[in-house]
């Protein structure tokens, strides 16, 4: 490690700790802890949501995937960008108007039953843990490669840092870490894209031309089919991406950090612009890496292509740019896992402990204590799981988390807001069916079973698709429908009136949040 690398690295750590210190002084209630007191501005929350979208998987993963398989790598980018619209059109505003800290709060605004809350909390925790293992294992491997530190030390460093941010600074610190990281990442990718374009004489046509000659795939590199040969698999994955984003608990939670529906709207508008620009730039990163670094060297550094962007940075700007991009990648990982810890803690401490076990009778002080204990427990479990999962190929867990979010959470959110005949039995049926069908089909998929022994078990996969969303999303919706129709119509006309009025007018937001 050079002195430049160390200073960038320490700079990021110092800056984020300073922000945590400032946020800690403002974190005195449960509302501060879970939602930064609902006091974020639209642009701040917009940048923070962008930070959640632009995870290490998106930055390193997508640019690497484009470098290795051309257009097929870019599929992810399209999914992430269009997902903004689903969130904006059907989720953001009603969610802000109905919820308080968690997804379960929003659903129990309509069905005030413990079992409904428990089901929602269960799916939140499952998604958070899957996502978290993927991020931590990825982070450990990455830091090991970037800085030459042992895997277990790398996981511990990330684990301790995320715990500090969340424990002391709550959502305030987590949001600001996201904001800082989003700005650094945008600057870094913008600069690299410019340099790549300069190497192609500022001509995009020239860039496509050169790239088509740079890899063994030739012209096929510029079309779909290098990576995805099964049409249903790519359709299924794109369904999971576009519908799953709107059901991911750590994204949903971000909407409670703003004061009203209009600010929620502004946030996602910022996110839309930022992610559209960022994911367009991933083309330059991917193509640049393919043309200048070369597939052979990228694969030699990491078979999945995760180091394509850092290697490209080294080619373009030497050790300084490499160190900067690595530091940004490190910040990216920290920011995303912190958001995950907070979301998981909200489900454990607020939903399961505070609302179900203690029936919502906790004082402000007890709530804060529960939130902090929950964060530590969740962080500790994730670190242990990540240490044990080192040798597993976990990259599929992320798309899997999207799949559960789309199948278990999205149907319940939509039915709760828009369907009058929906019942609590329907809510539980949808959540459990979505969750279980994803887990079962996922366990039978080629990610877990294959004959070559590159998956977890050796054997033939019973289910042919790597991502089951194309089956599980309709199943989730169907289960919610059938569950509702088979159960007795609830005498909840009043409650549905209340939900409709609140969702559409924002009435009562002041009573339920700050």
Partner 1 sequence: MANQMDISVEQQPKTTVGEPVLANEKEKERQVYREIAQMDSFKLLVKKKKKFLFSTTILFLIAYIMLPVLTSFTSVLEHRVIGKITWVWVYSLSLFVMTIVLCEVYKYRAGKFDKEVEKIMKEYGDSK
Nearer Cβ to partner 1 (147/208) = 208
Angle in degrees, 0-180, between the axes of helices 261-288 and 170-199, rounded to the nearest 10: 40
The CA distance from 479 to 117, in Å, is 18
DSSP string across 338-353: HHHHHHHHIIIIIIII
DSSP 449: E
Based on the shown chain and the rule CB under 8 A, indicate whether residue 215 belongs to the binding site for partner 1: no
Do 181 and 51 touch, CB atoms closer than 8 A?
yes
Taking CB under 8 A as the criterion, the residue among 15, 17, 85, 440 binding partner 1 is 85
- Site mask, partner 1, residues 86-105, x = CB under 8 A? x-xxx--x------------
Which part of the chain contacts partner 1 (CB under 8 A), choosing from 142-150, 217-225, 360-368, 405-413? 217-225
The CA distance from 197 to 102, in Å, is 43
Nearer Cβ to partner 1 (26/265) = 265
Angle, vertex CA 264, rays to CA 259 and CA 268, nearest 5: 150
User: What do you get for the CA distance between the two ends of the chain, in Å?
Assistant: 47
DSSP string across 375-406: HHHHHHHHHHHHHHTTTS--THHHHHHHHHII
- Site mask, partner 1, residues 4-43, x = CB under 8 A? --------------------------------------x-
Based on the shown chain and the rule CB under 8 A, indicate whether residue 360 belongs to the binding site for partner 1: no
How many C-beta neighbours within 10 Å does residue 273 have?
A: 13
Nearer Cβ to partner 1 (147/419) = 419
Based on the shown chain and the rule CB under 8 A, indicate whether residue 509 belongs to the binding site for partner 1: yes
Based on the shown chain and the rule CB under 8 A, indicate whether residue 498 belongs to the binding site for partner 1: yes
β-strand partners of 449: 457
Give me the residue label for tokens 């529960």.
Answer: 370
Based on the shown chain and the rule CB under 8 A, indicate whether residue 224 belongs to the binding site for partner 1: yes
Which part of the chain contacts partner 1 (CB under 8 A), choosing from 82-90, 189-197, 327-335, 393-401? 82-90
The residues in 246-265 that bind partner 1, with binding defined as CB under 8 A, are 260, 262, 265
Nearer Cβ to partner 1 (86/180) = 86
Based on the shown chain and the rule CB under 8 A, indicate whether residue 312 belongs to the binding site for partner 1: no
Based on the shown chain and the rule CB under 8 A, indicate whether residue 208 belongs to the binding site for partner 1: yes
Instruction: Name the minimum Å distance from CB 240 to partner 1.
Output: 12
Do 290 and 64 touch, CB atoms closer than 8 A?
no
Three-class SS of residue 317?
Answer: helix
Based on the shown chain and the rule CB under 8 A, indicate whether residue 111 belongs to the binding site for partner 1: no
Angle in degrees, 0-180, between the axes of helices 410-418 and 424-443, rounded to the nearest 10: 160
Taking CB under 8 A as the criterion, the residue among 74, 151, 400, 415 binding partner 1 is 74
Tokens of 110: 């309509």
The CA distance from 327 to 124, in Å, is 30
Tokens of 461: 């996969």
- Site mask, partner 1, residues 385-424, x = CB under 8 A? ---------------------------------x------
Nearer Cβ to partner 1 (334/475) = 475
Give me the residue label for tokens 């089951």.
Answer: 468
Instruction: Name the minimum Å distance from CB 253 to partner 1.
Output: 21
Nearer Cβ to partner 1 (225/317) = 225
Based on the shown chain and the rule CB under 8 A, indicate whether residue 202 belongs to the binding site for partner 1: no
Angle in degrees, 0-180, between the axes of helices 410-418 and 469-486, rounded to the nearest 10: 40
Instruction: Name the minimum Å distance from CB 76 to partner 1.
Output: 11
Based on the shown chain and the rule CB under 8 A, indicate whether residue 506 belongs to the binding site for partner 1: yes
The CA distance from 150 to 141, in Å, is 9
Which part of the chain contacts partner 1 (CB under 8 A), choosing from 30-38, 120-128, 148-156, 208-216? 208-216
Instruction: Name the minimum Å distance from CB 208 to partner 1.
Output: 4
Tokens of 227: 């990576």
* Count of chain residues binding partner 1 (CB under 8 A): 61
Nearer Cβ to partner 1 (319/504) = 504
The CA distance from 190 to 450, in Å, is 40
The CA distance from 83 to 72, in Å, is 18
Based on the shown chain and the rule CB under 8 A, indicate whether residue 189 belongs to the binding site for partner 1: no
Instruction: Name the minimum Å distance from CB 147 to partner 1.
Output: 35
Nearer Cβ to partner 1 (275/445) = 275
Taking CB under 8 A as the criterion, the residue among 276, 366, 393, 395 binding partner 1 is 276
Taking CB under 8 A as the criterion, the residue among 151, 176, 279, 324 binding partner 1 is 279
DSSP 372: H
Taking CB under 8 A as the criterion, the residue among 27, 45, 69, 84 binding partner 1 is 84
**507 — phi, psi (to 5°)?**
-60, 140
Parallel, antiparallel or unpaired: strands 457-458 and 449-450: parallel
Q: Dihedral (C-alpha) 114, 120, 126, 128: value to the nearest 10 degrees?
A: -120
Which residues bind to partner 1, rule: CB under 8 A?
42, 71, 74-75, 77-78, 81-82, 84-86, 88-90, 93, 204-206, 208-209, 212, 219, 222-225, 228, 231-232, 234-235, 238-239, 242, 260, 262, 265-266, 268-269, 272-273, 276, 279-280, 283, 418, 494, 497-498, 500-502, 504-511
């Amino acid at each position: 490690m050079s002195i430049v690398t160390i200073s960038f690295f320490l700079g990021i750590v110092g800056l984020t700790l300073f922000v945590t210190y400032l946020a800690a002084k403002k974190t005195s209630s449960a509302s501060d802890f879970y939602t930064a007191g609902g006091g974020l501005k639209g642009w701040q929350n917009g940048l923070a949501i962008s930070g959640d979208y632009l995870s290490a998987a998106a930055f390193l993963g997508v640019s690497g995937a484009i470098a290795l398989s051309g257009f097929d790598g870019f599929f992810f980018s399209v999914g992430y960008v269009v997902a903004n619209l689903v969130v904006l059109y059907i989720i953001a505003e009603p969610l802000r108007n109905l919820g308080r800290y968690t997804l379960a709060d929003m659903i129990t605004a309509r069905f005030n039953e413990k079992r409904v809350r428990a089901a929602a909390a269960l799916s939140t925790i499952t998604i958070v843990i899957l996502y978290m293992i993927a991020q931590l294992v990825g982070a450990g491997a990455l830091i090991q490669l970037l800085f030459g530190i042992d895997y277990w030390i790398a996981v511990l460093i990330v684990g301790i840092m995320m715990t500090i941010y969340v424990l002391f600074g709550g959502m305030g610190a987590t949001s600001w870490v996201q904001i800082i990281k989003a700005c650094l990442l945008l600057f870094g990718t913008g600069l690299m894209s410019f340099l790549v374009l300069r190497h192609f004489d500022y001509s995009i046509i020239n860039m496509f031309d050169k790239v088509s000659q740079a890899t063994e795939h030739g012209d096929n590199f510029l079309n779909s089919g290098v990576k995805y040969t099964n049409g249903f698999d790519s359709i299924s994955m794109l369904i999971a991406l576009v519908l799953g984003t709107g059901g991911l608990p750590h994204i949903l939670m971000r909407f409670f950090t703003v004061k009203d529906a209009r600010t929620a709207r502004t946030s996602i508008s910022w996110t839309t612009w930022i992610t559209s620009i960022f994911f367009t730039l991933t083309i330059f990163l991917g193509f640049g890496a393919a043309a200048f670094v070369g597939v052979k060297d990228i694969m030699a550094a990491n078979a999945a292509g995760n180091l394509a962007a850092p290697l490209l940075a080294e080619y373009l700007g030497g050790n300084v740019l490499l160190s900067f991009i690595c530091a940004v990648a490190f910040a990216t990982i920290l920011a995303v896992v912190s958001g995950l810890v907070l979301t998981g803690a909200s489900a454990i401490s607020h939903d399961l402990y505070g609302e179900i076990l203690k029936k919502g009778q906790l004082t402000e002080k007890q709530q804060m204590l529960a939130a902090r204990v929950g964060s530590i427990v969740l962080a500790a479990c994730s670190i242990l799981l990540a240490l044990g999962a080192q040798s597993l190929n976990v990259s599929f867990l992320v798309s899997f988390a999207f799949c559960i979010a789309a199948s278990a959470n999205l149907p319940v959110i939509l039915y709760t807001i828009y369907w009058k005949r929906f019942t609590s039995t329907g809510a539980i049926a949808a959540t459990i069916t979505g969750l279980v069908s994803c887990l079962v089909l996922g366990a039978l998929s080629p990610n877990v079973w294959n004959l070559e022994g590159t998956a977890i078990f050796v054997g033939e996969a019973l289910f042919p698709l790597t991502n089951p969303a194309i089956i599980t999303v309709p199943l989730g919706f169907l289960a919610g429908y059938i569950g509702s129709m088979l159960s007795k119509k609830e005498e909840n006309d009043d409650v549905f009136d209340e939900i409709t009025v609140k969702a559409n007018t924002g009435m009562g937001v002041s009573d339920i949040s700050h």
